[in-house]
Amino acid sequence: MRYFIELSYKGTAYNGWQRQDNAPSVQQLLEDSFTRLLRENTAVTGAGRTDTGVHASYYVAHFDCGIPIADMQDFIYHLNSILPPDIAVYSIVPVQDSAHARFDAVSREYKYYISLVKNPFARETAWIFKGTLDEEAMNEAADILLSTEDFTTFGKLHSGNKTNLCNVTTAEWTLRDGILVFTIRANRFLRNMVRSITGTLVDVGRGKISVDDFGDIVRSRDIARATNSAPAQGLFLTDVKYPDDIFRRHSMTSYRY
């Protein structure tokens, strides 16, 4: 029987989502915890990779088990008791046996947080930026992403992508209480794409490159021209969407400063 899991995690202590041979990962801790509770080796498949130090305020994964879970709330309680404090499971929902947390996702949303003031509480969850940024110019440049198909410029070399085409439907900066937030939604993302886009947009905001320069960089399809990669700690995966007949979001958890 297949189940979808809704969870969140703070990625500071982990080498990303994916299991590593010699470093802690979120996937490894989940698989070990499920195996312990279900008393059978349990593989957990995630909606996608997150890199070292990147967080997820909302994440979806799936697993299979031979016997249906009788008391789900009790199971989740014991699962959260085993998991470390920086990983939390909110719901486990039965789905079709063919449903897939990664391949059935139709869109994903990331948010990148930049604190424009010194903030001791955001040190591990935002880029503490010293200086001023032109939010208007950054939004003007971000609009270019909505009419872009090929994101080769912001990919990562030797990532094994079959295609670098992505459909970005949202790309905008908003300011709230000294926190500048970049929200980007697309059908798919390349490895390091959001951090590379964010870093290059910040260079627009600080006046190092113009909006026109940014457009030229995007259209160049040249990884070497992306000017900067934002630090990992400010990046959060915040949403994963599926067709309604596959899975509907249950947990409404979201990150807030």
Whether residues 82 and 118 share a domain: the answer is: no
- The sign of the dihedral angle between the CA atoms of 208, 224, 211, 144 is negative
Q: Which of 17-21, 72-76, 139-143 has the lowest mean pLDDT?
A: 17-21
Whether residues 112 and 214 share a domain: the answer is: yes
Tell me, what's the pLDDT at 143?
98
Is the model's pLDDT at 55 over the cut of 80? yes
Coil, helix or strand for 116? coil
- Per the structure, the count of domains in the chain is 2
Whether residues 111 and 233 share a domain: the answer is: yes
Tell me, what's the pLDDT at 160?
59
Is the model's pLDDT at 21 over the cut of 90? no
In the block, tokens 């900067």 appear at 228
Tell me, what's the pLDDT at 251?
82
Whether residues 117 and 14 share a domain: the answer is: no
Tell me, what's the pLDDT at 62?
98
Tell me, what's the pLDDT at 34?
98
pTM over 0.85: yes
Is the model's pLDDT at 142 over the cut of 70? yes
Catalytic residues: 51
Whether residues 63 and 150 share a domain: the answer is: no
Asked, for residue 123, whether it belongs to a domain, the answer is: yes
∠ Cα 248 187 88 (to 5°): 50
Asked, for residue 249, whether it belongs to a domain, the answer is: no
- Both ends of the chain: CA-CA distance in Å? 38
Sorted by sequence, the CB contacts under 8 Å of residue 120 that are 6+ apart come out as none
Residue 235 is encoded by which pair of tokens?
């990046």
Convert the pLDDT of each residue in 88-135 to its tens digit. 999 999 999 999 999 999 999 999 999 999 999 999 999 999 999 999
Q: Which of 79-93, 118-132, 150-164 has the lowest mean pLDDT?
A: 150-164
Convert the pLDDT of each residue in 222-248 to its tens digit. 999 998 899 999 999 999 999 999 999
